[in-house]
Amino acid sequence: MISIRTEREIDLMRQANAIVASAHKLAAKMIVPGTCTRDLDKAVEALIREAGGKPAFKGYRGYPASTCVSIDNEVVHGIPGKRILCAGEIVSIDIGVCYKGYYGDAAVTHPCGAVDALRMRLLEVTDLALSRAIRAAKVGNCLNDIGTVIEKTSRDAGFDVVRNYVGHGIGVEMHEDPQIFNFDAGEPGPRLEEGMALAIEPMVNAGTGDVRVKRDKWTVVTRDGKPSAHFEHTVVVRKDGGEILSWCDAPAWGVREA
């Protein structure tokens, strides 16, 4: 069952996502060569707690950190630790917050220093796939319109989408119905209604979409070792497209047109 949120609930989700956004603003400044991923995680956690929120990922199914930091060939769920960020890498940071019982969730992939043209294009295409998907999150469309536009945008650029991980409904839990595939599932799925809250999160690989999980039981990596990008926003379905709750003015999501 897909919940329809009241405007009061959406306002609480807006507050949770405002904390997510300010954490992303801080993270954006720290994603530079020489930063230790554990320091990044600790700084984000402190900001979330000072704002009165709870890091939603910490303890979720035993996950040990407040953020996921996934570098280059890592797709999602990278655990912050001793690793130092290097110039030329692309660094995805995923942040979830619970505030007054409501959730916010957003991710973005940053270039660390200067990166090559392939990586830059991968970021642009994944971000573009997300913004097109958000526009498709409108009343009257079907759920599958979201995955279809993500897959088409990625494939047209010569990239591939990850099929093993999905976006999700969000609200009073981090993960609610429905699952949001990043590809055309072949059937329309439920009709989108005003007030549905969705975390849309394309994961796009430069090579094939095949992934595996590392021995740490969390870090998802590409099978072919090529880079991967991940962008995510929490949105509410509206008549003219998704309203982004996790909006952030840090250099991050370009929300590129068309």
Could you give the 3-state DSSP secondary structure of residue 118? helix
Q: If contact means CB under 5 to 8 A according to the sort of partner, which of ligand MF3, Co ion, none does residue 68 touch? A: ligand MF3
Closest approach of ligand MF3 to the CB of residue 246, in Å? 11
Other C-beta atoms lying within 10 Å of the C-beta of residue 18: 19
Contact status, residue 70 vs residue 94, Cβ threshold 8 Å: yes
| Number of residues forming the site for ligand MF3 (CB under 6 A) | 13
Closest CA relative to residue 244, chosen from 137, 166, 139: 137
Q: Is 45 in the site for ligand MF3 (CB under 6 A)?
A: no
Closest to ligand MF3 by CB, 9 vs 176, is 176
- The structure tokens 């230790």 sit at 36
The region of 56-64, 84-92, 124-132, 234-242 touching ligand MF3 under the rule CB under 6 A is 56-64
Contacting residues toward Co ion, per CB under 5 A: 105, 199
Closest to ligand MF3 by CB, 183 vs 218, is 218
**Which residues make beta-bridge pairs with 94?**
68, 107
Closest approach of ligand MF3 to the CB of residue 158, in Å? 26
Among 41, 105, 145, 160, binds ligand MF3 (CB under 6 A): 105
Q: Is 77 in the site for ligand MF3 (CB under 6 A)?
A: yes
Q: Is 60 in the site for ligand MF3 (CB under 6 A)?
A: yes
Q: Is 68 in the site for ligand MF3 (CB under 6 A)?
A: yes
**What secondary structure does DSSP assign to 119-161, as a single string?**
HHHHHHHHHHHHHHHHHH-BTTSBHHHHHHHHHHHHHHTT-EE
Task: State the Cα–Cα distance between residues 55 and 243, nearest whole angstrom.
Answer: 23
Task: State the Cα–Cα distance between residues 143 and 194, nearest whole angstrom.
Answer: 13
Q: Is 63 in the site for ligand MF3 (CB under 6 A)?
A: yes
In the region spanning residues 193 to 212, those forming contacts with ligand MF3, defined by CB under 6 A, are: 199
Give the x-and-dash track for 158-177 against ligand MF3 (CB under 6 A). ----------x---------
Contact status, residue 161 vs residue 190, Cβ threshold 8 Å: no
Closest to ligand MF3 by CB, 61 vs 239, is 61
Task: State the Cα–Cα distance between residues 204 and 53, nearest whole angstrom.
Answer: 30
Q: If contact means CB under 5 to 8 A according to the sort of partner, which of ligand MF3, Co ion, none does residue 221 touch? A: none
Q: Is 94 in the site for ligand MF3 (CB under 6 A)?
A: yes
Other C-beta atoms lying within 10 Å of the C-beta of residue 142: 14
Task: State the Cα–Cα distance between residues 129 and 206, nearest whole angstrom.
Answer: 14
Closest approach of ligand MF3 to the CB of residue 87, in Å? 26
Q: Which stretches of the chain bind ligand MF3, using CB under 6 A?
A: 57, 60-61, 63, 68, 77, 94, 96, 105, 107, 168, 199, 232
